[in-house]
Structure 1
Amino acid sequence: MDICDGKRRRKVSGGVRSCRRSVAAKMKREAVKVLRSLTVGNNNKRAEAMDEEEDEDCFSISFLRSDPSRPAAAVSPRYSLLREVGRGSYGVVYEAVARRTGARVAVKRLQCDAPENVELALAEFWALTSLENRHQNVVQLEECVLQRNGLAQKMSHGNKKSKQYLRLVETSLKGERILGYPEEPCYLWFVMEFCEGGDLNQYILSRRPDPQTNSSFMLQLTSAIAFLHKNNIVHRDLKPDNILISQKSGSPVLKVADFGLSKVCAGLTSKSSEEDPTARAAGKGSNQYNTVNINKFWLSSACGSDFYMAPEVWEGHYTAKADIFALGIIIWAMVERITFIDAESKRELLGTYVRQGSEIIPVGEALLENPKMVLHIPQKARSSMTDGVKKLLLDMLAVNPQDRPDALQLEIRMDQVTFAA
């Protein structure tokens, strides 16, 4: 994730989170206490080391413990960690298994030790729990558990009876560490469907170009964004890192994930500014709010990852049309396999850019500086891109957001251009 202040950056950044080794080691030790790992192979030393860990709280025994009076040791763990699959500056993602069913799940552990971390965690929780229906191309949240001071409690949207939940919201609003960390550590655990195919970068760049896969992925991505916007959710951090691949059905299925910067847009009028979190904390549902036109709901936090940010995001005045721009960058890069090397992780990432001498500049930033700049799509001389996809991408990457299709229009047009191909 890359929080931007609107100034030009010359350091190539793909938005990969990082943290110090000492912090990472501490978080890993804490995770072992919370969810006991299954013994893999002959890893007896690891199992013995885990047995030596203190088992002080009920969360290390069970995610949800319905009867607090029962001894912790009497409850079996519901999930067991297998391995770490991702790490960021404020959380860790593990592959885990549900002991009762044997199903693989992804478990994200978010450390709520600072207001900015709490804000990111709650944003993801609000976005995923606000969805009444499932969509095959949006990652599914199975449950969210709040752990604090040795107690675990299942989180529910707008739970006014939960003091722990309200204190989290208060931490986010006041910007103060009111939870007493580190004396009373607080964590949020998200249990989600597991995507074994990695992210979009890994999948595309590890395989030969395939026009059929490109068409399928374009349809899936536009369907997911149309679904999110229809449900008043602006993602605000669309990038290949945040698009996961599930291969359970045999064919690759995309899953839009990581809603830490998302915004649930709901208000009394379409002129409302960013949603008031106190309303959500109080449990005010859609019946107390009028549905707004998400493309007229103005946002002001300049956030996202440089190479996918729309021009207006750099200025801090934008709508859901910024997601359309980011999706245009992703699709363009995917079809033509345009990549850059991230300065921090040294990974090769999908992303389009504009060259200025020896430097590469994010397309959105370049368009902000020169709104009359003409984008050369396709970029490569030998490109399989059709005229229909070219025209659609030019519209998605228009400088003026009003000239871009909205998510529903985009879904219809993408059906047309992929069918024609």
Structure 2
Amino acid sequence: MEKYTIIQELGQGTFGKVYKADREEDGSTHALKCLTVDSIDKGQVVLKEIRALQQVGEHPNILQFSEVFTENGLNTPTLNVWLVMDYCSGGTLDRFVSGSNPDPATVLQLLCDTAEGVAYLHGRNVVHGALKPDNILIDNSGKLPIVKIADFGIARVCEQSGWDINSYYMQTAVGTRLYLSPEIIGPLLAQRPGQVTYATKTADVFALGLIIAAILDRTTVTPFLPDPVNGQPKAVAEVMITHPGYPVADMLMTSESPESPVKTLVLSMLAADPHQRPTSEQVLGSLRQITGSSDRGNIQPLSSPPSPPPYTVVEVPVEENTEALTCKDRQ
């Protein structure tokens, strides 16, 4: 830690705390994520998170990981693993939109940036598994704000390492649970977690659809629907499961007209059947067409319902030799 001076704590997640810090040698500002390792199991989690970060590579809409170093805990037998990442001055996507009140074109471009990042992850066979506005950061250091997606691969890291994935997903009312897809939340509600297939590309698309709907509505950054029985707010997927005929289209994105192309796109992303959802590449193509962004990579917009893709789980490859990465004072 002698190379960095911590300025302030930025937040706390499932696996550690994040700090804003300055690098002493050049004065540059970074985000430092501290993961405390006090058992072999947690050590494996940290190693797998680092491997996931290394696998992804560089992309303008992905939070970049640049360095890792370790230090012993103060008067404890623990090991603190520090990940050095980009610092995003604009905070989270929802706070940036609600606080800065950007114009509609900028908001749509930020959502297109988010789709860029998700499509890139899926192209690298990495599933995010926990998409929500808290994991979408804004770099506001340049002329235009840019999205940076963070905390990808958490679900697979959690599942592969024997952590309680159900506890992670079934968080408080403002946590990850609200962005779960029907195929995940259904078995959890029925208390049959063994039937859940976690971390799929189609589940990421559902979560991305909810994010777009919530951000564009701007009435709330949380995608609730009122329960038809008691009017209490519930997760969208939960209402879809318990009340299959519920008019979701009438309750979400009320600021958009029924003919709005972005609303049509989002509703396709929220299909109850995961096989009927567009791929992240199709979502990106449609958003590029809507926003007028460049069509890099020849990604095409969604012009008709996609053919059902194979419903498979994509795992981040993990090396068996855990000694290959010691995490000690090197990238």
TM-score band (shorter)? 0.7 to 0.9
Mapped partners of 2:285, 2:18: distance in 1: 35
Does residue 99 of structure 2 align to residue 206 of structure 1?
A: yes
Corresponding position of 1:359 = 232
Alignment of 1:323-402 (within 5 A): 323-339=204-220, 350-356=221-227, 357-377=230-250, 379=252, 382-383=255-256, 387-402=260-275
Mapped partners of 1:119, 1:97: distance in 2: 28
Instruction: Identify which range, 135-144 or 303-312, moves more after superposition.
Output: 303-312
**Shift of the alpha carbon at 1:382?**
4.5
| CA shift in 2, pair 1:250/1:120, >3 Å | farther
CA-to-aligned-CA distance 1:42-61 (integer Å, 9 cap, x gap):
xxxxxxxxxxxxxxxxxxxx
Indicate which of 270, 277, 280 corresponds to 1:404: 277
Corresponding position of 1:136 = 60
Mapped partners of 1:138, 1:380: distance in 2: 27
Mapped partners of 2:258, 2:138: distance in 1: 23
TM-score by length of 1: 0.59
SS in 2 for 1:110: strand
**Shift of the alpha carbon at 1:82?**
1.7
Indicate which of 184, 204, 229 corresponds to 1:313: 184
Does residue 90 of structure 2 align to residue 197 of structure 1?
A: yes
**Shift of the alpha carbon at 1:116?**
6.7
Q: Percent identical across equivalent pairs?
A: 32
Partner amino acid for 2:180?
Answer: M
Alignment of 1:160-175 (within 5 A): none
**Shift of the alpha carbon at 1:419?**
3.0
Does residue 287 of structure 2 align to residue 414 of structure 1?
A: yes
**Shift of the alpha carbon at 1:410?**
1.5
Does residue 5 of structure 2 align to residue 84 of structure 1?
A: no
- Note if contact 1:336-1:378 (Cα within 8 Å) is conserved in structure 2: no
Ranges in structure 2 where 5+ consecutive residues have no aligned partner: 170-175, 188-195, 294-331
Alignment of 1:85-104 (within 5 A): 85-88=10-13, 90-104=15-29
Aligned pair count reads 272
Alignment of 1:120-269 (within 5 A): 120-131=45-56, 133-148=57-72, 183-208=76-101, 210-259=103-152, 261-263=154-156
Mapped partners of 2:44, 2:153: distance in 1: 8
Mapped partners of 1:78, 1:117: distance in 2: 25
**Shift of the alpha carbon at 1:130?**
1.0
- Note if contact 1:201-1:241 (Cα within 8 Å) is conserved in structure 2: yes
Mapped partners of 2:240, 2:254: distance in 1: 23
| CA shift in 2, pair 1:236/1:396, >3 Å | same
Across the aligned residues of Structure 1 and Structure 2, the Cα RMSD in angstroms comes to 2.8
Mapped partners of 1:329, 1:417: distance in 2: 18
| CA shift in 2, pair 1:214/1:385, >3 Å | farther
| CA shift in 2, pair 1:384/1:198, >3 Å | farther
**Shift of the alpha carbon at 1:95?**
1.0
Mapped partners of 1:117, 1:392: distance in 2: 40
CA-to-aligned-CA distance 1:251-296 (integer Å, 9 cap, x gap):
11011112362438xxxxxxxxx7x67xxxxxxxxxxxxxxxxxxx
Mapped partners of 1:254, 1:191: distance in 2: 18
| CA shift in 2, pair 1:247/1:380, >3 Å | closer
**Shift of the alpha carbon at 1:370?**
3.0
Mapped partners of 1:193, 1:105: distance in 2: 5
| CA shift in 2, pair 1:212/1:329, >3 Å | same
| CA shift in 2, pair 1:89/1:392, >3 Å | closer
SS in 2 for 1:234: coil
| Structure label with greater radius of gyration | 1
Mapped partners of 1:393, 1:419: distance in 2: 18
- Note if contact 2:93-2:134 (Cα within 8 Å) is conserved in structure 1: yes
CA-to-aligned-CA distance 1:304-347 (integer Å, 9 cap, x gap):
411111011122125221000001001000001132xxxxxxxx
Partner amino acid for 2:20?
Answer: E
TM-score by length of 2: 0.74
Does residue 109 of structure 2 align to residue 109 of structure 1?
A: no
**Shift of the alpha carbon at 1:380?**
6.0
Mapped partners of 2:153, 2:69: distance in 1: 16
